[in-house]
Structure 1
Amino acid sequence: MGSSERDIKKLCPDAKVLPGLATRGSNVNKADKDIADWLKDLV
């Protein structure tokens, strides 16, 4: 994710930018639980 969140906040100062979820490409097929947990935390 690098500086994506910071860059988006800078470019879109009025936007509500929520925390992202960093997932490596090699782990994406096993990320179902991580994604579900991340989504629950956003609510």
Structure 2
Amino acid sequence: PLLITSLLLFVSGVPILEKKYKNRQDFREYAKITPKFVPFIGKKGL
């Protein structure tokens, strides 16, 4: 599980999507308030 999580967060999943959507304003706002590891919680918690 740790290897797959690391690959998604640092190699294949998140970096590719961030590169693709970095110029979209709505994505930048979403990325500010959403943690990478558990996206559905939000940075303010439950």
Same fold, TM-score > 0.5, yes or no: no
- Higher relative CO (Cα under 8 Å, sequence separation at least 6) belongs to 1
Taking structure 1 as the reference length, the TM-score comes to: 0.28
